[in-house]
Amino acid sequence: MERDTRITHAGRRPRDYKGAVNPPVYRVSTVTFEHIEDFENRRGEMIYGRFGTPTTRAVAEAVSDLEGAAESVLCSSGLNAISTAMLAFAKPGGHLLVSDSAYWPVRKLCDGLLARLGVETEYFDPHIEADGLTRLIRPETFLVWLESPGSLTFEIMDTPALAAAARAKGVPTAFDNTWGASHFFRPLEHGVDISVLAATKYHVGHSDAMMGIVCCNEATREAVRQTAIQLGVTAGAEEAYLTHRGLRTLSVRLERHQKNGIAVARWLEGRPEVARVIHPALESHPDHALWKRDFDGACGLFGVVVKVASKEKLVAMIDGLELFGVGASWGGYESLALTAYPEKIRTATRWEDEGFLIRLHVGLEDPKDLIADLEAGLARLA
């Protein structure tokens, strides 16, 4: 089946729920059994609320279908999914390779909790080539963490080459696929072992639920599943239901986010106040060819570097925006704008752009109105 059809139908079994199109919300902790032997042998669709319900399994099955995964584990947030994937392979004295452009809380996890557990994290240039990655891998390396486009700065990696290099050394790869959202990119099809999603963003799509998902291939599913069980990782019934609801419109929403985002990005490229627009779908992006080779589209998240004399003027620009909210996260129907400071985060590479970096999420509003809002904001810089 084509992808849009799979998005509509994957994980749905109306006949199991008296014909209901959507699975009911199973609010479950205790599950009772008719016979003690059934409980002792774990017979039945539900064992205990933490181990999953028909509500959570419907989402996991649907996302596994879209990602091409052998199994998907639902978590309470994107960061919970990240920590579950990393801890599934971490060990004292182990060596973890992480892209320097990774989501900032990844660094906090690596330099905090994992460091206390005896894990050494080494950050690498997101533009590293396969040979360079091979040279970084040690006997104690247990995982390579990829993110493409990179968080805040939107570098595109040569994912198939890097995944192949890691696999040749016997090291699994994990990939933060929140930007690709299971629709525009599917890491497992490019040789990656684990795809991690902050489904809070586009899969939910309405800024009203937290959800993380770890999508595993056959080789990694058991380690991730057992780690999730041991950590007590679980996702709430309401959140699973909202993710299931959002998933059905994922394709049409992403197409609109893509259309609006590119329209706004191209307009910004023509503005004298803008030093650079960092959008992989634009021909001006240095990694555009790689993006075009591997991705099927672009979501609404990108960066823009503005020429501004002071932080005060930048604040005046952003605070005065009417349609772009100021807030964390992205992927909902609304547009957002945030300041970003990669120069304060990077350790393996340097961020040397002059000007201030703004991360924009372009929502589902009419792009003409968003452009007018940004135009007034850029005027405030003067």
In whole angstroms, give the CA distance from residue 324 to residue 143: 37
Alpha-carbon distances of 163 from 126, 138, 171, 175, 304, rounded to whole Å: 13, 16, 9, 10, 29
Type of residue numbered 179: W
* Tokens encoding 281: 């779908």
Active site residue 266: no
Cα 250–chain centre separation: 14
Residues 50, 245, 313, 380: which is the catalytic one?
A: 50
Active site residue 341: no
Q: Which of 56, 71, 107 is nearest to 242 (CA)?
A: 56
Residues 65, 176, 193, 287: which is the catalytic one?
A: 176
Please say whether the beta carbons of 116 and 110 come within 8 A: no
For 219, residues 6+ apart whose C-beta sits below 8 A from its C-beta are 172, 193
Residues 12, 201, 221, 225: which is the catalytic one?
A: 201
Residues 103, 123, 202, 241: which is the catalytic one?
A: 103
* Tokens encoding 135: 């040279």
- Kindly state the greatest CA–CA separation across the chain: 76
Burial 39-70 (b: 16+ CB within 10 A, else e): eeeeeeebeebeebbbbbbbbbbbbbbbbebe
In whole angstroms, give the CA distance from residue 314 to residue 307: 9
Active site residue 202: no
Active site residue 50: yes
Active site residues: 50, 103, 176, 201
